[in-house]
Amino acid sequence: MDKNKLKIVIATGILPPDIGGPATYVLRLARHLEKLGHEVKIVTYGDGETKVVVGNDRDFSLHIVNKRLPLQIRYFKYFKEIKKLAKWADVVYAQDLVSTGLPCAWAKIAKPKMKLVARLGGDFLWEKAYNMGWTDKPLSQYHAQPKNVQEKIYLTVYKFVLKKLDKIIFSTKWQSQIYEQFFHTGAKSEIIENAFPKAAVGLENNTSSKNILFAGRLIKLKNLSRLIEAIGESCDVKLTIVGSGPEKDNLEKEIKAFSLEDRVTIKPRVSSVKLDQYIADSFLVIVPSISEVSPNIALECIRLGKPILLTKECGYAQRYKDELIFIDPFSISDMKEKICGLLDESNHKNYLAKIANIDTSRSWQDLAKEHVDLFSKLPR
């Protein structure tokens, strides 16, 4: 494999306009790999809008599998696309174990010499299990519990794909340790941490605000019901929820049930530039999720020097244990206590000082170079 110029296929489930961290992650990585002199092709599920939104300001080749096709046909077409591109590629880089990992693993059976790497920035099965009501456990405990028939089928897929991978990239040591415990992935595991976003230009922090911000998908595992209840019991603060998702109607009902219409507002998802402004205008950002691996909004807040409360069931609980404040996602009283605690001017200033000491120099170029180093070391 020529380290000077690699041919890389990135297999992703989503690209913009679809919502999610993997969508923007793949685009940024692809562009920085191209800047380093490597060739990139992206395979994704999508439609004509994907091509329009991703735009023409790209050097990489985009291959779209119609996301509206029936599941079996969709996966088969994805497999055929990967198999075809595997003849060209030095490495195929999947972004999960199921929607892209499974068809990529099939392609590796057809092309045994194909080098296959996967990045796991989340856990598809746990997310599905929690949102379906199959579990009430955080990710760190989920894989130890008994499984239903559907979960066992997904676990069979997990184990099949993991066996076919040459390397597995995690964004945090926390998730890597979970997979080592339950799937014995140690020898294949590598950690490539996420990059900090570029510094926003022209933003001024609102130092007088008492508004708290949540931004993300409105789904059960984001734990917004407990957050709304905590706001109802908290001191004089307001909450803005920015996002969209299937839980929106239920959350609006809860806001009304707690008579919080004047203190809790739900707004539609916004661009990254607008989100930076929301963060700057807020007193505090909160991520109360049942579990998160490496939430990008935490890095946004650190970069902007904004206080954030993160779920302790999170990959950053190890990484930033001395700098950030973490909450128990199952404890409304803990959320309330830590929200109100930061209204104290002294506590607030001390927290800002700790956040200011975090090194934010890690860039997307650094992240791309680490990928290149890893891909280049794969055995021929």
Q: Is residue 2 part of a domain?
A: no
- pLDDT tens, 13-69? 988 777 677 888 999 999 999 999 999 999 999 987 777 667 666 767 899 999 999
Q: Is the pLDDT of residue 102 over 70?
A: yes
C-alpha dihedral sign at 163, 167, 171, 173: positive
| Residue 247 shares a structural domain with residue 119 | no
Do residues 282 and 315 share a domain? yes
Residue 14 CB-half CA count within 13 A: 10
**Is 73:55 a contact under the CB 8 Å cutoff?**
no
Please say whether the beta carbons of 75 and 43 come within 8 A.
Answer: no
CATH number at residue 42: 3.40.50.2000
Residue 203 domain-assigned?
no
In a domain, 201, yes or no: no
Instruction: Say which residue the tokens 């806001």 belong to.
Output: 255
Give dist(CA 333, CA 330) in Å, integer. 9
- Specify the pLDDT at position 91: 98
Tokens of 354: 């700790």
Residue 78 resides in a domain: yes
The 10s digit of each residue's pLDDT in 190-205 is 999 999 988 766 666 6
- Average pLDDT of the residues in 312-332: 97
Same-domain status, 286 and 321: yes
Mean pLDDT estimate for the chain: 93
Q: Look at residue 200 and tell me if it is in a domain.
A: no
Prediction pTM value: 0.92
One domain for residues 165 and 291: no
Residue 50 pLDDT? 75
pLDDT tens for residues 143-163?
Answer: 999 999 999 999 999 999 999
- For residues 190 and 215, membership in a common domain is answered with no
Domain co-membership, 173 together with 227: no
Instruction: Tell me which amino acid residue 83 is.
Output: K
Q: Which amino acid is at 122?
A: G
Of residues 270, 161, 292, the one with CA closest to residue 213: 270
Classify residue 54: in a domain, yes or no.
Answer: yes
**Alpha helices in the chain, H assignment, sequence order:** 21-35, 48-54, 71-86, 101-110, 124-132, 139-142, 149-164, 173-183, 224-233, 248-257, 272-280, 296-304, 316-319, 332-341, 345-356, 364-376
Q: For 179, left (φ over 0), alpha (ψ -120 to 50), or beta?
A: alpha
- Is residue 184 domain-shared with residue 294, that is, in the same domain? no
Q: How does pLDDT run across 208-240, given as a tens digit for each residue?
A: 678 999 999 999 999 999 999 999 998 889 999
Among residues 130, 154, 150, 153, the alpha carbon closest in space to that of 140 is found at 130
The residue-averaged pLDDT of 329-358 equals: 96
Q: Is residue 352 part of a domain?
A: yes
Radius of gyration of the chain (CA): 21
User: Which of 288, 246, 290, 18 is closest to 129 using CA atoms?
Assistant: 290
Please check whether residue 293 is in contact with residue 174, taking contact to mean a CB–CB distance below 8 angstroms: yes
In a domain, 303, yes or no: yes
Residues 180 and 233 in one domain: no
Same domain assignment for residues 352 and 369: no
Judgement on whether residues 103 and 37 belong to the same structural domain of the protein: yes
Residues 219 and 190 reside in one and the same domain: no
Could you tell me the residue range of the domain that residue 248 belongs to? 211-356
Tally of domains within the chain: 2
